[in-house]
Amino acid sequence: MRILAAVRNSFRNEFATTNHHVVNVGCCVRGPGRRARPGRVDRVSGVCYGAGVSSQTQLVQLAREDARLYQLKQQIANLPRRIAELGKERSALELQGREAEGRLQNADSTRRKLEGELADARAKKNKSEGRLSSITSTDQYQAVQKEVGTMSERIDTLESQVLEALERVDEVQRQRDAEAARVAQAVEGIEAQKRQLAADLEAAKASLEEQNARREGALVGVDGHTRTVYERILKAKGDAALSIVSLANCGICKAVQPPQVVQQLRQGTGLQTCQMCGRILVWDAPA
Ligand SMILES: [Zn+2]
């Protein structure tokens, strides 16, 4: 992305003032083992009007089309991964929703269990109380009365616990509802993003053929030697073969170029490549 931004910045500057800024690469090429073939350079504008001037402009145009092509290919390569990541985000959110639901079910099950125990304790107490009227022995009567007392205490405790459990259920239900709303909203956002990315992916795929054709079109007019060098660098770099020099820095890797390279770029004598990244350099004269 950093490289793309650099390429885009370079081209934004470049195409604002194309004719004045583009120095000769194509017609005054001096590749390895080649002698310079100077064209007629307009001393004022710095633009070469010799044979192959279209090659120079076309080279920059080609790099621009390649930057777009690179961007499309990056999108096609990366968007499915982003879409899959969003799918995982959605699953994680849905899991959080299910966990909140699980906490509610637990709280409710605790409430039901306590209510069952309370009902049992009440039934036992009633049963014991029922026995009291038919008991004749004092010892037995006292024992059963003690039982009733114990049950009453147990019932008090359980009633408090049931109340607490009811409050807990209310609280957890509110949390579950809030969580469900949050998850639903987040999932909606994720789905909107996924739809957008899927549309971007389809658009990128659909433009690929046209962009390849545009690239082929831009190749016309770039002379054979420059094209060979350009294609070789592009293949090695993957992203961009051409970089605009601004002041004395390579527009992509930012390496400062030696004065003689800058001088030759200014004069448009020969094909210059970046000392650091090896990309073909194009001079962007200060406005
Ligand atoms: Zn560089």
Residue 82: in which H helix or E strand, if any?
helix 53-132
State how far the Cα of 54 lies from the Cα of 130, in Å rounded to an integer.
112
Report CA(234)–ligand 1 centroid distance (Å). 13
2-56 residue pLDDT tens: 555 555 554 444 333 333 333 333 333 333 333 334 443 333 333 333 334 445 6
Report CA(282)–ligand 1 centroid distance (Å). 11
Torsion, Cα of 111, 117, 119, 121 (10° steps):
-150
State how far the Cα of 52 lies from the Cα of 18, in Å rounded to an integer.
16
Report CA(228)–ligand 1 centroid distance (Å). 19
What pLDDT is recorded for position 286?
Answer: 59
Report CA(281)–ligand 1 centroid distance (Å). 8
Report CA(255)–ligand 1 centroid distance (Å). 6
Report CA(252)–ligand 1 centroid distance (Å). 5
Q: What is the CATH number of domain 79-204?
A: 1.10.287.1490
Long-range contacts from 120-123, C-beta under 8 angstroms, 24+ separation: 121/151, 121/154, 121/155, 121/158, 122/155
What pLDDT is recorded for position 247?
Answer: 86
State how far the Cα of 94 lies from the Cα of 180, in Å rounded to an integer.
9
Burial class for 120, CB neighbours closer than 10 Å (0-12, 13-18, 19+): middle
Report CA(37)–ligand 1 centroid distance (Å). 25
- Tell me the backbone φ, ψ of residue 145, rounded to 5 degrees: -65, -35
Report CA(69)–ligand 1 centroid distance (Å). 20
Report CA(219)–ligand 1 centroid distance (Å). 23
Q: Give the closest residue to 10 by CA, choosing from 286, 238, 284.
A: 284
Mean pLDDT score across all residues of the chain? 83
State how far the Cα of 5 lies from the Cα of 1, in Å rounded to an integer.
6
212-229 residue pLDDT tens: 999 999 988 888 888 999
Report CA(253)–ligand 1 centroid distance (Å). 4
Report CA(189)–ligand 1 centroid distance (Å). 40
Report CA(266)–ligand 1 centroid distance (Å). 17
What pLDDT is recorded for position 207?
Answer: 96
Percent of the chain exceeding pLDDT 70 equals 79
Residue ranges per structural domain of the chain: 1-52+223-287, 79-204
State how far the Cα of 245 lies from the Cα of 262, in Å rounded to an integer.
8
CA distances from 77 to 10, 17, 30, 199, 231 (A): 24, 33, 37, 14, 21
Report CA(114)–ligand 1 centroid distance (Å). 75
Kindly report the pTM of this predicted structure: 0.66
Q: Is 167 helix (H, G, I), strand (E, B) or coil?
A: helix
Q: Mean pLDDT over residues 225-235, rounded? A: 92
Residue 199: in which H helix or E strand, if any?
helix 138-219
Percent of the chain exceeding pLDDT 90 equals 67
Q: Tell whether the model's pLDDT for residue 66 goes beyond 70.
A: yes
Report CA(172)–ligand 1 centroid distance (Å). 60
